[in-house]
Amino acid sequence: MRTKKLSLRLIKYELLNTAGNWFILFFGIAFPILMSLLIANVFVGEIPAAAIPAANTGVFITMSMIIPLATLLIGYAANYSQELENEMPLRFRLFGYRERSMLGAKMIANLIFMTIALAIYTIADYLLLDIQPPQLSSALVLVAALYALAVILFILAHAIATLTGKFGPTYAITMTLYFGLMIICGMMGVSVDRLPESLRIIARGLPMTYISSDFAGFWQGGGYDFTPLLLSFLLFGVIACVFLFASIWKNKRRLN
């Protein structure tokens, strides 16, 4: 049988599969908009009028991370675990699709969906909130950080789904990680500085912490030390890859 490679048809199939998940549609598009509006309006009565645009900007940057978390960590893991339960990857292989091609299509489709969600979120927030316009370099840094985060979350989600092989455990683990990461990284209104020391140590190793707390400071220009952020991306990526290698090892043992 002729091996089928990555194609636009396969990417389109995966994109429709992603968009067909109501959870991804709500938590990847509607939820971050609702959260940013809610938090911004809560802040309005507590800060001077002159500080509102800066505060809204911080909220906008922080809530933007919900999109890759919901789309890649929970949404993709849920979809793929259901496919594993129904033996869909095996059926695709029987029709000549390589696993590498299928994974490539899944990643591209999820990143396309995330791009659409980010565009909708950005337009909605800029229309509904008073947000500072960014320097082009600062906006590009945020976009690059969100896509780097998305790729790492894709790897982690794929590994978790492969290790469990079932929807229920995968959904429970990713939901716990979703809310845990949001709380630890200061995305739920609790400052990282107010967390216990043990949680602050964990928070300092996660890139979401630096995006949430630091990016608003250089949104309109200025210097920034990227070393802690890059080290946290490296650490988070290594952790995701460890889980990925563990899932590959488990698959090899099962096949043997």
Contacts of 203 (CB under 8 A, 6+ apart): 184, 185, 186, 192, 195, 209
pLDDT at site 33: 95
pLDDT at site 95: 67
**What pTM was computed for the model?**
0.91
Per-residue pLDDT of the chain (256 residues; tens, 9 = 90+): 455 677 788 889 889 988 888 888 898 899 999 999 998 888 766 788 888 899 999 999 999 999 999 999 999 999 999 988 887 777 766 666 677 788 889 999 999 999 999 999 999 999 999 999 999 999 999 999 999 999 999 999 999 999 998 999 999 999 999 999 999 998 887 778 888 888 899 999 999 999 998 998 899 888 888 999 999 999 999 999 999 999 888 776 665 5
Sign of CA dihedral 46, 48, 53, 55: negative
Nearest-CA neighbor of 212 among 70, 64, 111? 64
pLDDT at site 120: 97
Show the DSSP H helices in the chain as ranges.
8-19, 22-25, 31-44, 52-64, 66-68, 77-85, 88-94, 99-128, 136-164, 167-184, 197-203, 207-214, 227-255
pLDDT at site 4: 64
Nearest-5° Cα angle at 223, 219 to 227: 105
Nearest-CA neighbor of 155 among 252, 240, 66? 240
User: What is the C-alpha separation between 124 and 16, in angstroms, rounded?
Assistant: 23
pLDDT at site 154: 96
Q: Kindly report, residue by residue over 120-165, the tens digit of the pLDDT.
A: 999 999 999 999 999 999 999 999 999 999 999 999 999 999 999 8
User: What is the C-alpha separation between 18 and 12, in angstroms, rounded?
Assistant: 10
